Amino acid sequence: VRQLLLDNPHRVRLTMTPDPELSGKQAASERQRLAALRAALADADKNHIALQAQALAERQRQQDDPELLPRVELDDVPADFRIPEGAARPAGALPAHWYAQGTNGMVYLQAVLDLPALQEDELDLLPLFCACLTEVGSAGRDYRTTQALQAAATGGIDARATVRGGVDDVTQAKGVLVLAGKALARNQTLLSDLLWETLTDARFDELPRLRELVAQIRAQREEGITDHGHMLALAAASAGLSPVAALSHRWDGLQGLKNLKALDDALDDAGALGDFAARLERLRERLCDAPRQLLVVSEVERQETIAEALAARWQDGRTVPQPFALALPDAPPVRQAFRVNTQINFCAKAYPTVAPGHPDAPALQVLGDFLRNGYLHRAIREQGGAYGGGAGYHPDSGSFRFYSYRDPRLLETFADFDRALGWLQETDHPARTLEEAILGVIAAIDKPGSPAGEAVSAFFGTLFGRTPQQRRAFRRQVLAVTLDDLKRVAATYLQPTRAASAVLGNARTLVDLTDWAVATV
């Protein structure tokens, strides 16, 4: 083994370079193949193909008979739905919220820190800080030892930053940093210790580890473009509509990917890598000073023991910082196109609307399902050939958005978005279509989760102003939406001059978009 494998000096280095002309060559080859097939067809074959295409078009225009399936009606919808209730009870000097749920012996612990006011560079750094925080060493341990301890004692820990717009005003944003983990009840003290040590004593001095993490994050983001292209297009189209939407584009969208690629390239320089590590440490110190609270989800009989362990370890932040806020976004071009390495397109169109607390928000929520079920699915997927498409109201950004997924078309899809609004106003819609849309929204609201998941959702909903009272009122308003409401909100908010559009596609596809702002990712 040593002679033939370990000490074997023979090596082969194989370098493969992607061909930037590959998609064009494949398209040319496909055209040649189709031309050869066409030339070999007899007149009878051509007529048969034309008849098949005509029959398919007629079938796609037909309306399915909904009476063939069992029907759920609005009268079958329960008047209320269950939202778990927690109890506010401090753990030592630290505020804590406790949810007694059946967790099958698991303890879910989350530390929730109020984000302070952040500089622009700190705001851009925050997603990378969260991604690296639980992947480096802590409390004097190197990252390998820390990872082994996490795997042995917990079901995993992670960090994330969450920013949402206000219920009554989407420009009033609130943000938190969440450090979360879960473990068996017998390991709850170890879980608490690990979370505390990660927050207060993470090691950002392991420079090779940081370099590796940034490279991994970049690779994952680049590989995910095709799978999440519609989300990237939606983020780009919405970026100028609200502060939270602009932040989503900076963090998780194409602007964030562009910034990440520039950072990854720069970190090949040792000085830049050291500066990056120092910035992470300074941000950690700032966040450690922020006010914090704990969220605990467990079985009720275990909570007294958990409270004792938390009180012995956790302390509150030392300062009350300037409140977190986001500036209003600059207005981007109303038509943006992004060149990416893909053979298909992802289209999105967004309109500014209202905050989730506005009386028109429930109708906008139902409108998304109504347009998708009645028009967009058939036009974009069945007839247009896209893998998917739809529309929906996005409450955090106060916007209404259309999208397509893995779409062979481009401008034709944007025309279908507009035609859907004409179809809404001009067609005589049967009552069942509205009922189906309302039931779809109610199904999403009432969708059950795990006991722990429902408790976590209830806590963060209340934290961001989505109280049980607000959620129940919204649900009641959804059930009362009428067809006239849908037509009214569409005419009021979905006006052509207010729209912003974005598309992801390859350079060959986008070459004809002369009146669009085109950028390369």
Could you read off the pLDDT of 355-387 as tens digits, one per residue? 999 999 999 999 999 999 999 999 999 999 999
- Residue 24, pLDDT > 90, answer no
Could you read off the pLDDT of 183-210 as tens digits, one per residue?
999 999 999 999 999 999 999 999 999 9
Please report the pLDDT score of residue 405 as a whole number.
Answer: 97
**What is the rounded CA–CA span in Å between residue 413 and residue 345?**
10
Contact criterion met (CB below 8 Å) for 352 and 498: yes
DSSP H or E stretch at residue 454: helix 451-463
Long-range contacts, 408-415 (Cβ 8 Å, 24+)? 408/344, 408/345, 408/384, 409/345, 409/384, 409/385, 410/345, 410/347, 410/503, 410/505, 410/509, 410/510, 410/513, 412/384, 413/345, 413/347, 413/380, 413/384, 413/386, 413/389, 414/347, 414/349, 414/501
- pLDDT category, 166, cuts 50, 70, 90? very high
Please report the pLDDT score of residue 204 as a whole number.
Answer: 98
- Residue 170, pLDDT > 80, answer yes
Nearest to 335 by CA among 469, 475, 425, 236: 236
Please report the pLDDT score of residue 72 as a whole number.
Answer: 82
3-class DSSP assignment, residue 404: strand
> Sign of dihedral through CA atoms 58, 61, 66, 67?
negative
**What is the rounded CA–CA span in Å between residue 419 and residue 405?**
18
Please report the pLDDT score of residue 320 as a whole number.
Answer: 66
Could you read off the pLDDT of 453-506 as tens digits, one per residue?
999 999 999 999 999 999 999 999 999 999 999 999 999 999 999 999 999 999
Residue 520: strand pairing partners:
339
> Sign of dihedral through CA atoms 216, 222, 228, 233?
positive
- Residue 101, pLDDT > 90, answer yes
% of residues, the chain, pLDDT over 90: 85
Please report the pLDDT score of residue 473 as a whole number.
Answer: 97
Exposure letters 453-485 (e unless 16+ CB within 10 A, then b): ebbbbbbbbbbbbbeeebbeebbebbeebebeb
Average pLDDT over residues 125-153: 97
Average pLDDT over residues 132-143: 97
Q: Which has the minimum average pLDDT: 13-17, 372-376, 378-382, 397-401?
A: 13-17
- Residue 34, pLDDT > 70, answer yes
Nearest to 401 by CA among 243, 205, 162, 230: 230
- pLDDT category, 57, cuts 50, 70, 90? confident
Nearest to 330 by CA among 252, 256, 242: 242
Contact criterion met (CB below 8 Å) for 74 and 439: yes
**What is the rounded CA–CA span in Å between residue 77 and residue 505?**
42
Q: Which has the minimum average pLDDT: 59-63, 392-396, 447-451?
A: 59-63
Find the Cα–Cα–Cα–Cα dihedral 25, 29, 32, 34, rounded to 10°.
-130
- Which DSSP letter does residue 267 get? T
% of residues, the chain, pLDDT over 70: 99
Rg (CA), the chain: 27
Contact criterion met (CB below 8 Å) for 337 and 503: yes
Please report the pLDDT score of residue 61 as a whole number.
Answer: 79
Contact criterion met (CB below 8 Å) for 368 and 392: yes
**What is the rounded CA–CA span in Å between residue 328 and residue 324?**
13
Average pLDDT over residues 443-450: 95
- Residue 25, pLDDT > 90, answer no
- pLDDT category, 60, cuts 50, 70, 90? confident
- Residue 91, pLDDT > 80, answer yes
For the beta sheet containing 292-298, the strands, ordered from the edge strand earlier in sequence to the opposite edge, are 87-88, 96-100, 292-298, 106-114, 174-184, 157-164
| Per-residue H/E/C for 158-198 | EEEEEEECCCCCCCCCEEEEEEEEEEEHHHHHHHHHHHHHH
Average pLDDT over residues 85-114: 96
Please report the pLDDT score of residue 18 as a whole number.
Answer: 81
Q: What is the mean pLDDT of the chain?
A: 94
Average pLDDT over residues 104-130: 97
Nearest to 230 by CA among 97, 92, 387, 76: 387
